[in-house]
Amino acid sequence: MSLDAAPTPPEELRNTMVDQLIAWGSLHIPRVEAAMRGVPRHLFVPDVAVEAAYAHDGVITHPGADGRPRSMASAPGIVAQMLEQLDVQPGHRVLEIGAGTGYNAALLAHLVGPDGHVTTIDIDGDVVDAARSGLAAAGYGSVHVICGDGEYGYPGHAPYDRIIVTAGAWDVPPAWSDQLTMDGRIVVPLRVRGLTRSVALERGNGFWRSRSMIYCGFIPMRGAGYCPESTVRLRDDIEVFLRLDDRQSVDPEALGGALKHPACHTWLGVNATESELGHFEFWLATMDGFCRLLARGDAIEGMLVEPMYRWGSMAVFDLDTFAYLTMREAPRGDDGTRIFELGVCAYGPQGEQLADRVTEQIRRWDRHGRSLTNTWIEVHPAGTATDVAGHLVAEKRHTRIIIRTAPAS
Ligand SMILES: C[S@@+](CC[C@H](N)C(=O)[O-])C[C@H]1O[C@@H](n2cnc3c(N)ncnc32)[C@H](O)[C@@H]1O
């Protein structure tokens, strides 16, 4: 007789996953909860153990040639949050860009019900085949799965009440607004200066305005809308890089010498909570040369003053010099909130000057920016919107994106 315990039924694992999402504050809306309890996620990731399907991680289904995933099922927490942002109603017509496994399309089909319609599109034929199989196995064969580049939407089934993009976008192409109803909503993980947020966009007066935004990370969209970030390796022998977005120009040779200079590091006596760091990133990103420092194990242990996070830090470069942020734990707040003191570390011939500029920006945030917790994104047609002083502005292919901040209302 086997002593092995009987495997936990998928339904029980699924309900535990949903219960945890609710407990952690990632899921609030009963209709989204019902969809997540109803759709058998494990049928969309048939090559992994059922337990892995209901864990809180993404599941890679198609590794890419460069070692990064080409397709995956997103983590349940971000799936739930984006569906809540989307506000899908019964009877809606929905377009999803990034079919992946088909799991999110099945959730959408559950939410729109028998009177609605879901189209999902993926750029890769093998991913499309897998999505179709998963949807058929789970009983959602009515979802239309199309192979194509989501940059152009899918005019065949437009207009849509909702568009959801589940790959990282760098811009909002015209096809999406052309194919959306006037009071429609787009939810898209949008990258500005390397910072990605899932934004729910609605039409304002001639532009898009975000209704909500949440932290996220996504596989970048490929195809016509692809805009790679550029990466500069700072030393050959250790893994330390600068990653630059929004087509900033850089001289890798000049930056390559920066680490030969000694670190110029100071603690600022300026503290921030984890939630303040979210809008602080946008404040810092208004600086010319904003980028990210990526550093792996040996670089952090062996030579760099420790960056903020395990992946690295927010940073700023200027020609041959770069500076990045550091932080250390400060005494907790009265309610137990974690608090961090910020620091700046610079390398390069102009290290002290750049560190001073970044320090000044942080001190301005401390004095004036900290209270600007109301942050929103506007997406204007390229070349329009001029009242941008003091705000973060990113020129994209089709649009001018502005990130504005104001005191909480
Ligand atoms: C994170 S996965 C999507 C997850 C999916 N929604 C699910 O429920 O499993 C991102 C997907 O976007 C697809 N993709 C990337 N660029 C695309 C493009 N330009 N048009 C359509 N799909 C694209 C990838 O092939 C990948 O399958």
Pocket test for ligand 1, best of 42, 71, 121 (most atoms within 8 A of CB): 71
* Long-range own/partner contacts, residues 18-26 (CB < 8 A, 24 or more apart): 20/56, 21/76, 21/77, 21/80, 24/77, 26/77, 26/80, 26/81
Domain boundary among 225, 259, 287: 225
Helix (H, G, I), strand (E, B) or coil at 16: helix
- Distance, in Å, from the CA atom of 207 to the CA atom of 388, rounded to the nearest integer, reads 14
Domain with 249 in it: 230-369
123 lines ligand 1 (CB under 6 A): yes
Chain segment 148-203, per-residue pLDDT in tens: 999 999 999 999 999 999 999 999 999 999 999 999 999 999 999 999 999 999 99
Whether residue 364 is contained in a domain is answered as yes
- Distance, in Å, from the CA atom of 68 to the CA atom of 83, rounded to the nearest integer, reads 25
Domain boundary among 208, 225, 242: 225
122 lines ligand 1 (CB under 6 A): yes
145 lines ligand 1 (CB under 6 A): no
184 lines ligand 1 (CB under 6 A): no
Domain boundary among 225, 251, 276: 225
The verdict on 64 and 148 lying in the same domain is yes
Total domains in the chain come to: 2
Whether residue 2 is contained in a domain is answered as no
The verdict on 218 and 234 lying in the same domain is no
pLDDT of residue 1: 43
Question: CB within 8 A of 351, min separation 6: which ones?
Answer: 261, 262, 263, 264, 321, 323
The verdict on 215 and 347 lying in the same domain is no
Whether residue 376 is contained in a domain is answered as no
The verdict on 277 and 199 lying in the same domain is no
pLDDT of residue 60: 97
Whether residue 196 is contained in a domain is answered as yes
- 74 a catalytic residue: yes
Instruction: Evaluate the omega torsion of the peptide bond into residue 69 and state whether it is cis, within 30 degrees of 0.
Output: no
Helix (H, G, I), strand (E, B) or coil at 369: helix
The verdict on 239 and 331 lying in the same domain is yes
The verdict on 182 and 297 lying in the same domain is no
Distances (CA, A) of 186 to 102, 203, 221, 310: 19, 9, 16, 32
The verdict on 17 and 44 lying in the same domain is yes
Residue 169 in contact with residue 221, Cβ under 8 Å?
yes
The verdict on 110 and 238 lying in the same domain is no
Whether residue 181 is contained in a domain is answered as yes
Question: CB within 8 A of 33, min separation 6: which ones?
Answer: 18, 22, 27
pTM of this structure: 0.94
97 lines ligand 1 (CB under 6 A): yes
- AA letter at 225: G
Q: Of the listed 71, 74, 198, 313, which one is catalytic?
A: 74
Residue 303 pLDDT grade (very low, low, confident, very high; cuts 50, 70, 90): low
Chain segment 216-269, per-residue pLDDT in tens: 999 999 999 999 999 999 988 888 999 999 999 999 999 999 999 999 999 999
The verdict on 273 and 220 lying in the same domain is no
The verdict on 164 and 197 lying in the same domain is yes
Q: Which atom of ligand 1 is nearest to the CA of 104?
A: 8
Q: What is the CATH number of the domain that holds 118?
A: 3.40.50.150
Q: In angstroms, what is the span from residue 220 Cα to ligand 1's centroid? A: 9
pLDDT of residue 301: 64
pLDDT of residue 302: 60
pLDDT of residue 198: 98
The verdict on 130 and 266 lying in the same domain is no
Whether residue 249 is contained in a domain is answered as yes
pLDDT of residue 44: 98
